[in-house]
Amino acid sequence: MIVRQLEVTWLGHAAFLLLTPGGKRVLIDPWVMSNPVCPTAYQEIKSVDLLLVTHGHFDHIGDAVSIARQTQAPIVSVFETSLWLSRKGVDNAVGMNKGGTLSIQGIQVKMVDAKHSCGIQDGEEIIYGGEAAGFILTLEDGLKLYHAGDTALFEDMALYGERYRPDIVCLPIGDRYTMGHGDAAYAVELIKPRWVIPMHHGTFDALPGSPGEFAKLVGSRAEVVILSPGQTRAFSPAFGGVR
Ligand code: NI
Ligand code: MN
| Assessment of whether the complete model's pTM goes beyond 0.95 | yes
Q: Give dist(CA 145, CA 136) in Å, integer.
A: 6
Instruction: List CB-based neighbours of ion ligand 2 within 5 Å.
Output: 59, 150
The ligand whose atoms approach the alpha carbon of 117 most closely is 1
93-137, pLDDT tens digit by residue? 999 999 999 999 999 999 999 999 999 999 999 999 999 999 999
Distance 172 CA to ligand 2 centre (A): 9
Q: Residue 241 — very low, low, confident or very high, per pLDDT cuts 50/70/90?
A: very low
What distance in angstroms lies between residue 173's CA and the mean position of ligand 1's atoms?
Answer: 13
What is the structure's pLDDT at 1? 83
Task: Tell me the pLDDT of the chain averaged across its residues.
Answer: 96
Residue 238, pLDDT score: 62
CA of 119 to the centre of ligand 2 (A): 12
Distance 199 CA to ligand 1 centre (A): 12
Task: Assign 239 a pLDDT band (cuts: 50, 70, 90).
Answer: low
